[in-house]
Amino acid sequence: MRFQGSICAIVTPFDATGAPDLAAYDRLLGLHLDAGTQGIVVGGSTGESASLDESEFEALLAAALARLRGRMPVIAGCGAAATHKALRLVRRARDLGADAALVVTPYYVRPTQEGLYRHYAALADEGGLPLILYNVPSRTGCDLLPQTVARLAARAGIVGVKEARAEPERMQALLALKRAGFCVLSGDDGSALRAMLAGADGTISVAANVVPRAFGRLCALARAGQGDAALALERELAPVYRMLGVESNPIPAKWLLHRMGLIGAGLRLPLVELSLEWRAEAESCVARIRQLEATADPAAARVA
């Protein structure tokens, strides 16, 4: 199983009662199939993992596997603040048939590097599912350092890292660890092109929710070494990236998808709908998205 190109950290739509809207979710999965997306993360932070019950996570994962199994990798978001809780999620994802688990560093508890090493080692040894490490200090309060990633990359069952820090030096340190069986993925849309041009295998993306065809094309161009064309497309995507960052993820992404007629507007508290001050800009962004998606060739996302 190869993890590369445009991998979407998919949102979780909710219906009018506040329950996961599986019909809308299936439509989104179909959209990604048509767009050439090369993987889906279910129940990540963009999918509001912190607000999902385990039964809801299982239903979403089962729905994604029913639609996508054998057609693109399905990666389960299995992060938790305690190792035994994350292990339970990894094992359940394994039993349902997920291709891998994306495991964010334990949040709030601020473990040491040795604690992070032992956390991931236990999950790799006992979970029975390939693991992708996930570092996003802005959300978790801890930073998985490259030295610790190097220790973990040598262990069986750990197949990659998603790095959300944008500094070029951090990505370069991780790219030195890349090998067959261990991928390096960007977790930051704004610096993803730079990372891929430097050698990253792909991106686990928020933007791919709203511009799946265009973002897939960006990844394909970058991985093919077509830097000038990729930079030109990135300039067109820049206003979309800006809109996605005006409030906490996934608030803007879900509002854009709602205004595109793909999902309802609902989030779970304490997240709320996009603030009024950003809605006019969001409407302009929707128009740009429609233009970008209309002109992007979905087959081009699969060439890399």
Given the residues 134, 178, 241, 254, the one annotated as active site: 134
DSSP bridge partners of 5? 202
**Residue 70 in tokens:** 């054998």
Range list of H helices, 176-226? 189-198, 212-223
Q: 227-244 and 251-259 are packed helices; what angle lies between their axes, rounded to 10 degrees?
A: 100
Please tell me the distance from the alpha carbon of residue 258 to that of residue 273, in angstroms, as a whole number. Answer: 10
DSSP bridge partners of 8? 40, 205
Quick check: is 107 catalytic?
no
Quick check: is 134 catalytic?
yes
Given the residues 107, 162, 178, 254, the one annotated as active site: 162
The DSSP-derived string for 80-129 is -SSHHHHHHHHHHHHHHT-SEEEEEPPPSS---HHHHHHHHHHHHHHH-S
Q: 227-244 and 279-295 are packed helices; what angle lies between their axes, rounded to 10 degrees?
A: 150
* Catalytic (active-site) positions: 134, 162
